[in-house]
Copies of this chain bind each other. A is one copy, B any other.
Amino acid sequence: MLNSIEESPLHDIVSPKSIALMGASTGFSMGTVILNRLQEIGFEGNIYPVHPKADEIRGLKAYASILDVPEPPDLAVMVLPAPTAVQTLEECGRRGVKNAVVVSGGFREVKGVGEDLEKDLLETAGRHNMRLVGPNCLGVAAPRYKMNTTTFPLFSKPGSVGLISQSGSFVTQMFQQVESLGIGLSAAFSTGNESDLDLVDCLEYLGACPHTKVIGLYLEGIRRGRDFVRVARSIVPDKPVVAYYVGGSETGRRAGYSHTGALAGPDGLYEGVFRQAGIVRARSVMELFDFCAGLSLMPPPAGSRVAVLTDSGGPGAAAADACGRTGLELPGFSPETGEKLSPFIPATGSVNNPVDLTFYKNPDDYTTNIPEILLQDPNVDMLLMYFLMPREIVSIAMKSMGVPADQAEAESDNMLKNQYKSIADLIKNNPKPIIGYTFRNQEDPGIKVLTECGLPVFQGAERAARATYALAAYTDLRNKVAKSLNASST
């Protein structure tokens, strides 16, 4: 285990002080797109575009060769045809460049001559003591370091989710989803063909990274199985690791192979690896990000007993069913809880679990008073809360009752502000995890206000129950790993 990220070979790749970029031009090219991304995110070091002919690219002085660049940059990023990339890496080595992100495809994943080119690439790097991410990757996205070697604009705030993906798609194409879930990235790696630095190196980096609270993995295949398990086990006592393995079905395995040439194994083998490593397993890409959201925003629970709070019967029943199906328990409450709840629950409601308020006059009952009673119950480890939050419905209702439009909208905005404060306080004042669910859209203003105050909110009872399950699963895995590490160290 690393003592700090500075010890990781990835440190200078995630936060370089200077970058040479090969493949950007005065026209349109993937390299130019990446240059745009680096400028747009506000990369603070020097960027040296290298181009055989251009004098200037997007306002920056361009150099004919890496040999002409005034300093050996911390990192070379190259988007060049595969054979040219090998030659260019050789020149980088001679110039004293120590790190490269090789975005180019056309290596092992295309078989034949590509396999030879990948060997040459690796041999060249080895000869010059260089470390590589890629080839056939999108490199690194790390908002905290204003770093983005991918092709997608990254506007989201720095966060605490570290991501390692053997597909570039699931770094870049999930940027919007990451924002919708109200989370942010600490550092995201697209590892591509992993000819040198691989997912285990990235895992070690994120394990040591003080900003990373949870690590998510998109896997098409693991090469260094033993190292993977060892490193994951060293991390899991401190932070959760979540993985989605795409090769688990026969169809997924074939697709993964044709994508990055990964050597996938049978589902049962990976299931065993994840269990041994203490990794929470997600069943889909969406779950991978949902689990990361829940685990990064909420503390680990003591166990798997869930109180469900709703103001509408059907969503309560749906949450109870979803919890049951994923192995969570809905406990009965202590007698004290029943007594404390009853003044808040109308005759039409239910003081059992799920607690169904049916309606309420004082919004604080729903967002503060009842949740606090439930979270204090010794039988309850977590709270799953339903949110309808019909901000525009309130405003429409008021308008149709004759309230002037501006007053109706002010009133519903006010409702949102109060909701924000109550939920933010509820999270701050309670050490037990709280998860929200809704059937509204994630972009609905009433839902956005909840994610903005740090509550993970999922669309549909099933996604929420699964994210709640992930919290309980982590507690269980962490305890097992910690126990077995303690046993082996004594």
Contact = CB atoms under 8 A, between A and B. Distances in A.
Max chain B Cβ within 10 angstroms of own Cβ: one of A246, A255, A350: A255
Contacts of A286: 439, 459-460, 462-463
Contact of A439 (B283, B285, B312, B401): B285
Contact of A174 (B220, B247, B439): B439
A167 B317 contact: yes
Contacts of A348: 105-106, 109-110
Interface in A51-100: none
Contacts of A459: 286
A249 interface: yes
B314 A165 contact: yes
Interface in A21-51: 28, 32-33, 36, 39-40
Interface of A: 28, 32-33, 36, 39-40, 105-106, 109-110, 152-153, 165-170, 173-174, 176-177, 180, 218, 220, 246-252, 254-256, 258-260, 283-287, 308, 312-325, 328-330, 347-348, 350, 352, 354, 356, 358, 388, 390, 393, 396-397, 400-401, 439-444, 459-463
A439 B251 contact: no
Contacts of A442: 441
Nearest to A173: B439
B256 A317 contact: yes
A372 to B, nearest CB: 22
Contact of A177 (B256, B329, B356, B439): B439
A60 to B, nearest CB: 14
A254 B176 CA distance: 38
B443 A315 contact: no
A220 to B, nearest CB: 6
Contacts of A259: 313-314, 316-317, 350, 356
A167 B313 contact: yes
A312 B396 CA distance: 42
Contact of A401 (B28, B169, B246, B250): B28
Given A246-B318, A317-B167, A443-B443, A255 B354 contact: yes
A324 B252 contact: yes
Contacts of A444: 176
A321 B443 contact: no
A350 B317 contact: no
- The 8 residue pairs across chains A and B that have the minimum distance between CB atoms: A167-B314, A252-B321, A249-B324, A251-B324, A169-B314, A255-B320, A259-B313, A286-B460
A32 B314 contact: no
B347 A106 contact: yes
7 contacts: A40-B400, A168-B314, A169-B314, A180-B441, A249-B320, A249-B321, A255-B317
Given A249-B321, A439-B174, A461 B396 contact: no
A152 B392 CA distance: 11
A397 B460 CA distance: 34
Contacts of A388: 173
A317 B248 contact: no
A85 B169 CA distance: 59
B320 A461 contact: no
A396 B153 contact: yes
Nearest to A346: B105
Nearest to A311: B169
A335 to B, nearest CB: 18
A397 B170 contact: no
A5 to B, nearest CB: 26
A110 B356 CA distance: 13
A329 B251 CA distance: 8
